[in-house]
Structure 1
Amino acid sequence: MSQSVLQPMKMAHIVFRTANYEAMLDWWTNLLGAHAVYKAEFATFLTYDDEHHRIAIINQPHLTEPRGKNISLFDHVAFTYSSLKDLLEGYKIRKAKGIVPTICINHGPTTSMYYVDPDGNRAELQVDAFATAQEGIDYMHSDEFKRNIAGKLFVPEDLIARLEAGESEESIKKLVVGEDEVMDEKQAAEFVKKLVGSNTGDSAPKETVISA
């Protein structure tokens, strides 16, 4: 019997190579409220917590546009917030800086906002719908999740208004799937394909943000 691979303790950091060095630094710093632990002409190391670096950006001016049509590549990285309030407060701050999400969607397990950096990489900022990871796993094994595994679009300002009106975070985060919103796996795949484009170089249409 083969031995199981040892699991890592945690995910440590993500590294980007870019020809848009300063633009990428500015974007990721503002997206995550990060700061530079070390900055040089060839690379900068950013963090937003007690880790020595979470994001590294490597300056490679010779690089050409990396995105083409219908190619296989890394899709996105996700960061979790501790509350819906924090996610929405961050949205307002980023919006004031000109950083807005291309897709806002309640997946069921998470309420998520997707952003696209200057190089076309996607970042998902999310809050969990459930108090524990096991509850999230149980939901993903449920018939309710199978009714719509893609999720429903939302308008951030609508969620802000509901929160300010006193509705609980648990209620706002709960995905309610109507009979006309049920999707099988094929329909969900088509929905996501139209939403994000055929590859990560294609930005989602702006109207997807407001088609709740």
Structure 2
Amino acid sequence: MLPESVYKHTPRPRPITVPKLHHATFMTLDVEPMVAWYELVCGLQPVYYAEHAAWLTNDEANHRIALLRLPGTKVPVDKPHTAGLHHTAFEYATVDQWLDNYSRLRDAGILPAMCLHHGMTMSMYYVDPDGNGVEIQVDVFGDWSCSTEYMWASREFSEDQVGPHFDPEKLLVARENGHDADTIQKDTYAGKYAPDSGDKDVRFPDVWPTRLEENPSLAVTEAPVTV
């Protein structure tokens, strides 16, 4: 039997000097559609672009997302059920900005795979061309110290870290009817804007069967580089 984790009951040990998260890097089989998708969805633009790699940013950092097409990269098999990175996340400052972004992406033909109110955030989860999850969220407290306290101490979060699903179209209607952001988020957590139907799974769909059907050449990888 494995020993009980030190993280279960004690304060988390931290390094004396704390580094900040800078970027995430993805291996991909096709750089171009990934660059285009992240620019449309998250406003990430390439600082440097090549057919085999790209480095993207949407703020003052030199890059926040890196994309690498390494020789020998293979097509994922059953990606939604494979251990690894589940998603990256981007945050809007207000509910209005967050809902406006949903409308913008919807009109561009990009819809979330699932929408969840986690208690401290309302989150819409999208799927990039390679099947990686991307969360677009808004902090319902508008204050990270408050949302951190909610995660740390609330009974609600200890009992349910996923939270209720919601239909973003119903949130748009509520806003059009004059409901303010705080009322919308509370009603969402109470289940008022639940989807009328649909799968309640929290795994992303597998995009690869369709991608390979549309473009079989993606399965033909280059030989690995040997030294």
Give how far 1:52 is off: 1.4
> Structure 2: which amino acid aligns with 1:6?
I
Q: Look up the match of 2:70.
A: 60
* CA distance in 2 between partners of 1:79 and 1:30 (Å): 13
* CA distance in 2 between partners of 1:149 and 1:40 (Å): 40
Q: Look up the match of 2:156.
A: 144
Deviations, residues 44-72 of structure 1 (Å, cap 9, x unaligned):
11111111111111123642212336432
Distance 1:7 1:61, change over 3 A: same
Structure 2 residue 138 is the aligned partner of structure 1 residue 127 = yes
* CA distance in 2 between partners of 1:7 and 1:102 (Å): 38
SS state of the match for residue 152, structure 1?
A: coil
Alignment RMSD: 2.5
Instruction: Give the stretch that moved more between structures: 149-158 or 58-67.
Output: 58-67
Give how far 1:80 is off: 0.9
> Structure 2: which amino acid aligns with 1:36?
P
* CA distance in 2 between partners of 1:105 and 1:94 (Å): 17
Q: Look up the match of 1:208.
A: none
Percent identity (aligned): 37
Deviations, residues 7-61 of structure 1 (Å, cap 9, x unaligned):
4342111111110221111111111022111112221111111111111111236
Deviations, residues 125-146 of structure 1 (Å, cap 9, x unaligned):
1000113222213323122334
Is the CA contact 1:68–1:201 (under 8 Å) kept in the aligned structure 2?
no
Give how far 1:196 is off: 2.5
Structure 2 residue 113 is the aligned partner of structure 1 residue 108 = no
Q: Look up the match of 2:85.
A: 74
Q: Look up the match of 1:98.
A: 109
SS state of the match for residue 141, structure 2?
A: coil
5+ residue gaps in structure 1? 182-192, 204-212
Alignment size in residue pairs = 186
SS state of the match for residue 39, structure 1?
A: strand
**Which structure would you say has the larger Rg?**
2
Q: Look up the match of 2:47.
A: 37
* CA distance in 1 between partners of 2:200 and 2:206 (Å): 10
Is the CA contact 2:120–2:150 (under 8 Å) kept in the aligned structure 1?
yes
Is the CA contact 1:111–1:127 (under 8 Å) kept in the aligned structure 2?
yes
SS state of the match for residue 37, structure 2?
A: helix
Distance 1:91 1:76, change over 3 A: same
Is the CA contact 1:104–1:112 (under 8 Å) kept in the aligned structure 2?
yes
Structure 2 residue 176 is the aligned partner of structure 1 residue 196 = no
Query: Normalization by structure 1: what TM-score?
Result: 0.77
